[in-house]
Amino acid sequence: MVRKLSYNLKKKYFSLILQRDGHACFYCKGKFSENHIAEYEHLNNIETDNRLENLVFAHHECNNRKKFNTDLQILATEKLRENEKAVFVGEGNEGDVSLSEQEISKINRGITKMFLTEHTMNGQSLMINDAVNAIVNLCNHNNSTGSQSAIYRYIDAMCNSFNGDFIKEKNPDGKLSIRKKYH
């Protein structure tokens, strides 16, 4: 058994956990952001038990809170049992579960849209360069992929004038920002 959750296992499991549980903290159901990033959480608190069934995404704060909160510990135990009973691709699978470029692109586009949506609510605008760097960090943390050029392309597509959800505009100081488009 692997000592610590390796880069390759994180990469292998990312899309499977995302498909199974969605992209929200298992404990508080809150979204992940630049300040509240996802981490791989061991449901049974055994850091060397790196089976897919024993892993969920959680905020760092929620993961730490679980150590002293019996309700969260019970929730984790129930989720582990549920995962073990479910028919889901596990670590022992013979097939290669590595992510294709299309899958990575789809995941990173989703992370980009989620980030922009959360940070442009209520008419707020966001500096594009700051957003790109934050999204790259989120993608790198979540699935060890993500480049500035790819994130810029996703943002360009989401800002198209025909059916985009966002608008790019220049601030008074000449820098580009992005905000939600209200149809």
Residue range of the domain that includes 131? 101-180
Over the stretch 34-85, which tens digit does the pLDDT of each residue have? 777 889 999 998 888 888 999 999 999 999 999 889 899 999 999 998 888 8
Q: What is the CATH number of the domain that holds 121?
A: 1.10.10.10
Over the stretch 1-16, which tens digit does the pLDDT of each residue have? 446 888 888 888 888 8
Distance CA 79, CA 88 (A): 13
Over the stretch 94-143, which tens digit does the pLDDT of each residue have? 444 456 777 788 888 888 988 998 888 888 899 999 999 999 998 888 77
In a domain, 95, yes or no: no
Over the stretch 132-171, which tens digit does the pLDDT of each residue have? 999 999 888 877 888 899 999 999 999 988 888 999 999 8
pLDDT at 91: 43
Task: List the 166-170 sheet strands across, edge first.
Answer: 125-127, 176-180, 166-170
Kindly report the backbone phi and psi dihedral angles of residue 111, in degrees, each rounded to the nearest multiple of 5, phi listed first. -65, -40
Same domain, yes or no: 38 and 74: yes
Same domain, yes or no: 107 and 74: no
Amino acid symbol at 158: M
Distance CA 42, CA 10 (A): 12
pTM over 0.85: no
Same domain, yes or no: 166 and 141: yes
Q: For the chain, how many structural domains are there in total?
A: 2
pLDDT at 102: 79
Does pLDDT of 180 surpass 80? yes
Pick the residue with more confidence: 83 or 29? Answer: 29
